[in-house]
Amino acid sequence: MIHLPNDDNCCGWYASLPPSAIQKRLNGDEKADFVVVGAGFAGLAIARRLAHHAPTARILLIDAQQVGQGASGRNSGFVIDLPHKFALEHPNPEHKQKILRLNRYAISLLVTLIEQHNIDCQWSATGKYQGAVGRRGQARLDHFAQLMRELGEPCHNVEGKALSAVLGTSYYQRAIYTPGSYLMQPAALVRGLADNLPENVERFENSPIRSLSREGKRWLLQGDHGSVSTPTLLLGTSIFTREFGWLKHRLLPVMTFASWTRPLNETETDRYGGQLNWGLTPADHAGTTLRMTIDGRIMVRNTYKYVPQYGHSVSNSLRQKIQQEHRQAFLARYPELEAVPLTHTWGGTYAISRNFTNFFGQLDDGVYACACDNGVGAAWGTVSGTLLADLAAGVDSSLLADIQAVTGMPALNPPEPFLGLGVRSKIRFAKWQSRSEL
């Protein structure tokens, strides 16, 4: 039996959208040339590119939930072009240049699709701020600026009144602005991409796969009310790849949590005094991510949890505690908005690896996967899914060579209970170290 996603129903991005059209479920026995499991950024990109390579093939895209309810619709709404966090620390400059090329290719693909299909997802080329509060954050920010210079990428320092005029708060001492990232409404983007798939892609939602087996040269996927047989299976399932029997003991399920406000009214917007539509990530990795959306919502994200049972690891009481922590972070930055409530608090599960390595490639005869985005799923999911379809179709390119060069095998994890003890201790220690940046 495969352990399924168990996401909460509290995601603000999803709740702010109109109800989605009901999609068909897997019902009865099906045969397909290709089956793609997972309809997030990776799975959608896989299916779209396969349809381009094989326009007469029957391609099934299957998700256990509704499109937009999984991790791809729950992130903070950044599409980041630069190597992110630990990837930026890689000692090989060419390695980082390859990641940069891959991320920017993903952004170009998304721009084309959004314009072609007129997808309303608050897409904007606004860049990104990297912010620091205290001395620890300032030191990390100096290091980030040095890495940008080594990478040859433009960035500039913003501080004092210029920074508070953007953020509406003087809480941050300094930020570095980089121009290449985009902001968007993730649930709206994922849903828009799914609603505009090629005609030979059939989509099944709310159709969990319960088991997988091999029958001769074909793979049989068994659901609650039907099955699918295919010679070629492509997994855009990230952390859930291990539930199908591959990459076991190599992926760590981590959930990040965010909260946001309702849209500020006119009086509150005047009190706030900053700009709309910006995003800030912390110079210190465990610090606070902050967003102001186009429609005037402030979002705070700064909590990480190890979730070996995915959503089952999170109780309502834990979610309420997390919202209180987010409330404290919100009021520290915007005390003048004390009357503004946090309306939604949600989590999203993603995969990281101990060696911060993404997996990309073939797992078995007729089985391909891209997994473990290490927290940067929008760009990486799009490009890895696109190129995975190329790999399965036998289509070579310099970009395929790039992604094969920068990916590898995630490191093996120690067994439980040592794994859980280690991960939880590391998260707690990182939070303590970064307390000045929260």
- Read off the tokens for 101: 């090329």
Reading the chain (438 residues) residue by residue, the pLDDT tens digits are: 689 999 999 999 999 999 988 899 999 999 999 999 999 999 999 999 999 999 999 999 999 999 999 999 999 999 999 998 889 999 999 999 999 999 999 999 999 999 999 999 999 999 999 999 999 999 999 999 999 999 999 999 999 999 999 999 999 999 999 999 999 999 999 999 999 999 999 999 999 999 999 999 999 999 999 999 999 999 999 999 999 999 999 999 999 999 999 999 999 999 999 999 999 999 998 899 999 999 999 999 998 999 999 999 999 999 999 999 999 999 999 999 999 999 999 999 999 999 999 999 999 999 999 999 876 789 999 999 999 999 999 999 999 999 999 999 999 999 999 999 999 999 999 888 888 888
Domains of the chain: 12-73+188-250+358-420 (3.50.50.60), 123-184+252-354+423-434 (3.30.9.10)
Q: How many CB atoms lie within 10 A of CB 413?
A: 18
Q: What is the reported pLDDT for 438?
A: 83
Q: What is the reported pLDDT for 86?
A: 85
> Residue 36 phi/psi, 5° resolution?
-115, 125
Helices and strands in the chain: count of H runs, count of E runs: 11, 20
Q: What is the pTM of this model?
A: 0.97
> Residue 260 phi/psi, 5° resolution?
-145, 170
Q: What is the reported pLDDT for 2?
A: 84
Q: Which residues pair with 370 in a beta bridge?
A: 360
Q: What is the reported pLDDT for 1?
A: 65
CA-nearest of 243, 238, 257 to 353 is 238
Which helix (H) or strand (E) segment holds residue 320: the answer is: helix 316-333
Residues 389 and 384: their CA atoms lie apart, in Å, by 9
Which helix (H) or strand (E) segment holds residue 193: the answer is: helix 186-195
Sequence-ordered list of residues with C-beta below 8 angstroms from that of 259, at least 6 positions apart, any chain:
12, 299, 300, 301, 322, 323, 326, 327, 330, 342, 344, 345, 346
Which helix (H) or strand (E) segment holds residue 12: the answer is: helix 12-15
Q: What is the reported pLDDT for 242?
A: 96
> Residue 22 phi/psi, 5° resolution?
-70, 125
